[in-house]
Amino acid sequence: MTVQEVEQGRYRSPFYPRQAELDRLFQWHDWKGYATADGFYETDLEYFAIRNSTGVFDLTPMTKYRITGPDSFVFVDRLVTRDMSKIKPGRVAYAVWCDDEGQVIDDGTIFHLKDGEYRLCSQERHMAWLNMSSIGLDVTVVDETADVCGLAVQGPTSFSILKKMGLDGIENLRPFGLTHFEFQGAELMVSRTGFTGDLGYELWVSNEKAIDLWDALFAAGQNYGIMAIGTDALEHSRLEAGLIAAYIDFLPANATVRSGRSRSPLELGLEWLVDFKKPNFNGRCALAQEKRRGSTWRLVKLDIEGNKPAHHSYIYSNPRKKKEIGFITSAAWSPVCKQNIALGTVRVPHGAVGEKLLVEIYYQREMHWSRVMAEATVVDKPFWDPPRKRATPPGPF
């Protein structure tokens, strides 16, 4: 990782000059040392760009580690709970990694760039854990967060925009695939991944090409409703996609102090990512034991009656509101689904699909607080899951 001189306390992404031109709100926050925009225009406008045309989100602050060396496969396969032997070069895996107690440290994506070379992307920083995991293995882990910048290009017209930009063959890229293009003499990596639950891509390039990439992308997208978006709109769409976020829907295990405040992948609804057929991965013993004995918590997707977002609500078991069984971690009214949706955590055995629960929603109207007990149904599928997300080749919208 190269050391960067910064004028102020926060890094600026290489896209910052272009973002600053567009910015109407001047609302920025800190994301792992980088200044990141909450939004540029207005959250709803940006949100509808994601769902109806294309939103462009600056991924640069996303932590990126390059993993190389003879034991790189052994390293990633031991690190995460899923079977990485199935992730061939040119594929991307969504994965979680756990401590020895089987508690989730973070989730992220692992790009199998070429044979034996991986890139791990996550919201949080994990150098200490990755270094610890490399003891006794012949592997090199390099933090390349500051060397590589990225843009998430998400929405129904994203495919058409990239096609227009001249990325020939992009139509063949399947979900969770990655491919390389030549872009103005540099290498541009494109993966069909994202955090919106929709058709979308992520573009990765070295910092020097950042502005050129931005310009080429926005030129191509001019007639396709392309729009820069901030974190608020993205947050909205990831909830519709039923995707979980660290520090919101779960706490990284190494950030918890009290026992019982961390979560296992089984408790986060990520059992499909845990492959007990693998002889060893971190947390395997503890997770196998949890599987035998049963989990404590369950993450649920809730479809709630009414239109008041159930922010931070307690969840009670129906019908007689006798027992408080959990709480809401993410909530919003979803315009595209026309549903009042939420993610929450409940105590097992509650939370089976179809179970009716009650959520206690507090809301304020002209300063006065009111309360409503709303019925919530546990649902199985992501709230927003359009077929275009999976279609290969994607349709031209």
The C-alpha R_g of the chain, in whole angstroms, comes to: 21
Taking alpha carbons only, the member of 384, 308, 285, 302 closest to residue 343 is: 302
- The helix/strand/coil state of 48 is helix
Considering only residues 6, 20, 22, 285, which one is a binding residue for another protein as defined by CB under 8 A? 285
Considering only residues 9, 136, 354, 387, which one is a binding residue for another protein as defined by CB under 8 A? 136
For position 71 contacting another protein by CB under 8 A, the verdict is: yes
Considering only residues 65, 111, 129, 159, which one is a binding residue for another protein as defined by CB under 8 A? 129
254/318 with CB nearer another protein: 254
Residues 172, 349: Cα–Cα separation, whole Å: 43
Scanning 1-9, 277-285, 345-353, 389-397 for contacts with another protein by CB under 8 A, the matching segment is 277-285
For position 283 contacting another protein by CB under 8 A, the verdict is: yes
* Orientation angle between helical segments 43-52 and 231-240, nearest 10 degrees: 50
Considering only residues 74, 127, 251, 337, which one is a binding residue for another protein as defined by CB under 8 A? 74
Asked if 383 and 350 touch (Cβ cutoff 8 Å), the reply is: no
| Least distance in angstroms from the C-beta of 14 to another protein | 34
For position 282 contacting another protein by CB under 8 A, the verdict is: yes
| Least distance in angstroms from the C-beta of 299 to another protein | 23
Size of the site for another protein (CB under 8 A): 18
In the stretch 231-270, what mask flags binding to another protein with x, by CB under 8 A? ----------------------------------------
| Least distance in angstroms from the C-beta of 374 to another protein | 37
In the stretch 292-321, what mask flags binding to another protein with x, by CB under 8 A? ------------------------------
Scanning 40-48, 50-58, 133-141, 209-217 for contacts with another protein by CB under 8 A, the matching segment is 133-141
Q: Long-range contact list for 78-81, CB < 8 A, 24+ apart?
A: 78/133, 78/137, 78/280, 78/281, 78/282, 79/130, 79/133, 79/281, 79/282, 80/110, 80/273, 80/281, 80/282, 81/265, 81/270, 81/273, 81/274, 81/275, 81/281, 81/282, 81/283, 81/284, 81/287
- The helix/strand/coil state of 148 is strand
Scanning the chain, the segments in alpha helix (DSSP H) are 16-22, 43-52, 72-79, 127-133, 158-164, 210-220, 231-240, 284-293
For position 284 contacting another protein by CB under 8 A, the verdict is: yes
Asked if 107 and 96 touch (Cβ cutoff 8 Å), the reply is: yes
Scanning 73-81, 175-183, 332-340, 370-378 for contacts with another protein by CB under 8 A, the matching segment is 73-81
6/132 with CB nearer another protein: 132
| Least distance in angstroms from the C-beta of 161 to another protein | 42
3/135 with CB nearer another protein: 135
- Quick one: 63 exposed, middle or buried, by C-beta within 10 A (0-12, 13-18, 19+)? buried
Scanning 129-137, 218-226, 304-312, 358-366 for contacts with another protein by CB under 8 A, the matching segment is 129-137
For position 23 contacting another protein by CB under 8 A, the verdict is: no
Contacts of 355 (CB under 8 A, 6+ apart): 318, 377, 378
| H or E stretch at 10 | none
For position 85 contacting another protein by CB under 8 A, the verdict is: no
- Joined together, the tokens standing for residue 130 give 């990755």
Using CB under 8 A, list all residues that contact another protein.
71, 74, 78-79, 99-100, 129, 132-133, 135-137, 279-280, 282-285
